[in-house]
Amino acid sequence: MGGSGEPEVFTRAWKLKGNLLLGGLALAALCQLIVIPILGQALLNRWGVGPTVALAAFLFGDAMLLLLVGGQRLPMALDERLRRGVAAALTRRLGHSPDDGNGYFVGWTGGGPTANLLALDMSDDVGFVKLTPERLVFLGDGVTFELPRQQVQWIGPAEQGVPVIMDFGLRVVVHWVDQLGREQAFTFHRREARWKSQRRRLNEELCEVLRQWHQHGLVPGPTVQGGTP
């Protein structure tokens, strides 16, 4: 089906750095929320109700802003940087850029739709998925493969995690049969949204594109980062 090697960009160090950055922002916001009642109680008698409430409101708003930036925008900014790094690495290897507007920047997981909750990242690899009428091509940082359309059995959505509590979002699962007749599966999810809340819609779009390719051999036109034109 393809080959694999050592990733150049999407390394363990990259994943760890991203987790530390996101965790640091979340911790800073949590500390502010904890400090609000403690500081408010200490300052209430000295400052009075009005200034104390104003300070508490400011700290609460700042904590919510940290959570918004950390939860919604920062992961997507890291993915944008990751995309540029992977595209540059693949350009050096292939002699041309895979980020040419004809494909999608995605995370790939080789174990099917089941999430590994202990992993540093929910993707095993990241790269660009491209389509021809008869083949699906994945050009990843560490994994590269081509999958003939005739070997695909079924393509559909797959939820990962527990909604609200630990929701890892919608993914696209591809079920296929290898040359020995064994059933296999992998998942894709797009890593090119501008805000985390956009990922579900973009993955629904990708699922429909791959279904149309599987059923009819249709190949989409040029794409843009964060969605189709």
Mean pLDDT of 117-127: 81
What is the pLDDT, as a whole number, of residue 17? 86
Whether residues 109 and 66 share a domain: the answer is no
Domains held by the chain: number: 2
The stretch 117-132 carries a mean pLDDT of 86
pTM: 0.79
- Per-residue confidence (pLDDT) for residue 94, from 0 to 100: 92
Both 105 and 190 in one domain: the answer is: yes
Would the pLDDT of 229 be above 60? no
Average pLDDT over residues 41-70: 65
Reported for 66-72, long-range contacts at CB under 8 A and 24+ positions apart, including other chains, are: 66/25, 66/26, 66/28, 66/29, 66/32, 67/25, 67/26, 67/29, 69/25, 70/22, 70/25, 70/26, 70/29, 71/26, 71/196, 72/195, 72/196, 72/197
Say whether pLDDT at 132 is over 80.
yes
What residues make up the domain containing 55? 12-78
